Amino acid sequence: MIRPRLFQSVKSALGVIKRFASNISEQKVNVGGIDINYVKSGDGPNGILLMPGAIGSAWTDFKPQIEKLPSLLPDYTIIAWDPPGYGKSIPPRRQFGLDFFQKDAEWAKDFMQALGYSSFSILGWSDGGITSMIMAAKHRRLVDNMIIWGAGAYINEKEIKLIEGMRDVSTWSQRMREPLEKLYGPERFAEIWSEWIDAMLEFFKQRNGNFCREDIEKIVVPTLILHGVKDPMIAEEHIPYIRKRILGCRYYSFPEGKHNIHLKYSDEFNNVVANFLLQKY
C-alpha cells in the first residue's frame, strides 16, 4: 500500500516530468535561405544552444539534456540544433572546407538571433566545442556562458591515426551505427563520415592541425570545461592547453568518463551544468 504522502510526492514528480515533456517541440526556421531544424524544450527567458559533435544532430547527441535540463533550469529554454548539412537541416549538402567551424559559428549566431535572442549560453560537445570556442572569441557580447567537453583547439598526429582507424563504419558496433544510419541512411552515413575524416586530414596537412589556436586566448566569457578523463578521442594535452589559455575557466572531471560523458553520466552532467549556470559551482 502506498502511503498518501509518498503518493503525493510521486504524483508531483510525475507532473513535473509530464509538464516538461509536453513542452518539447521540433521545428524549422529559415536562416539565410536554409531551413534549420531544431528542438526546443523549456520556456524560460534565457537561451541555451546545444552544439552537436561531428555529423551529429539534436536528438542523436542531446536527448538527456533536451528532456531533463528544463526541470533544473526553469529560467532557461533549451535549444538543440542540427547545423546546416547535418541531420534534418538538409539541404544543403554538408561542405567541409578549412573554414567549416567558422561557418558553423556564424550560422549558429544568425540562427539564435533569428529566434530572437540577443545573447545566450552555449554547450558544445566535440566539434560543437570547437565551434563554441570560435563563437565565444569572436562574439563576446553574444555569449553569456560557455560549457565545452571533448574538444581541442587543434588535432595532432596521434588523433589523426585514431580517426583513420575509424573510417570503415562497418567495424563500428550496431549501437554506435544505428542512430546515425537512421538519421542519414546507411550509404550517406558512411559517406559523410568519410568526408569529415578527409577534412581532419586537410587541417593536419595544410594548417598543422590548427582549428582555433588563435581564438581561445580571446575568450573572456565565463567558461566551464568538462572532461572525461578516459576520453580516447582527444589527447590528454588538450585540457591543460585550453585551461591555461582561457583565463578564469572552471573545470570538472569525470574520472571514468570517455567521450560521451553527457550521455553516460547524464544526471551528474546536467546537475554540474545547471549549478554552473546558476552560479553555484
pLDDT in tens, 135-189: 999 999 999 999 999 999 999 999 999 999 999 999 999 999 999 999 999 999 9
Residue 22 has a pLDDT of 56
- Residue 30's φ and ψ, nearest 5 degrees, are -85, 125
Instruction: Answer yes or no: is 56 within a domain.
Output: yes
The answer to whether position 10 is within a domain reads: no
Band (pLDDT 50/70/90 cuts) for residue 281 is low
What is the phi/psi pair of residue 155, to 5°? Answer: -125, 140
Catalytically active residues, by annotation: 126, 231, 259
Distance from C-alpha of 12 to C-alpha of 46, rounded to nearest angstrom: 25
Q: How many angstroms separate the CA atoms of 281 and 276, rounded?
A: 5
Amino acid at 150: G
Residue 19 in domain: no
Phi, psi angle pair for 10, to nearest 5°: -65, -45
Write the single-letter amino acid at 262: H
What residue has cell string 531533463?
68
Asked if residue 18 belongs to a domain, the reply is no
Asked if the structure places residue 1 within a domain, the reply is no
- How many domains does the chain contain in total? 1
Give the whole-angstrom CA distance, residue 242 versus residue 150.
12
Say if 97 falls within a structural domain: yes
Show the domain range for 186. Answer: 26-277
Q: How far apart are CA 22 and CA 179, in angstroms?
A: 23
Q: The CATH number of the domain where 117 resides is what?
A: 3.40.50.1820
Provide the whole-model pTM.
Answer: 0.91
Instruction: Classify residue 153: in a domain, yes or no.
Output: yes
Closest by Cα among 59, 234, 76 to 145: 76
Domain assignment present for residue 8? The answer is no
